[in-house]
Amino acid sequence: MASLSEQRAALKFCFLLGKNTAESVLMLKTAYKDDAMGKTQVYEWFNSV
């Protein structure tokens, strides 16, 4: 299972690449499958940056 901190690092990478929230959610779901953080968590993270 991927840790939350690992997924946050992946989100930061997506953000730095210029991906939007929806693209980032899709990338996390593709990479982490059922262990991916939820869409709401991703949106909250993007809003806090």
Mean pLDDT of 30-38: 94
What is the domain partition of the chain in residue ranges?
4-48
Q: How confident is the model at residue 2 (pLDDT cuts 50, 70, 90)?
A: confident
What is the C-alpha to C-alpha distance for residues 32 and 18, in angstroms, rounded to an integer? 20
Report in angstroms the alpha-carbon separations of 5 from 1, 10, 36. 12, 9, 12
Number of Cβ atoms within 10 Å of the Cβ of 42: 23
Q: Which two tokens stand for residue 33?
A: 């499958």
Output the pTM of the full model.
0.86
What is the C-alpha to C-alpha distance for residues 33 and 1, in angstroms, rounded to an integer? 10
pLDDT at res. 41: 94
pLDDT at res. 1: 63
Q: How confident is the model at residue 22 (pLDDT cuts 50, 70, 90)?
A: very high
Mean pLDDT of 6-16: 95
* CATH architecture, range 4-48: Orthogonal Bundle (1.10)
Exposure on the CB side of residue 42, measured as CA atoms within 13 A? 21
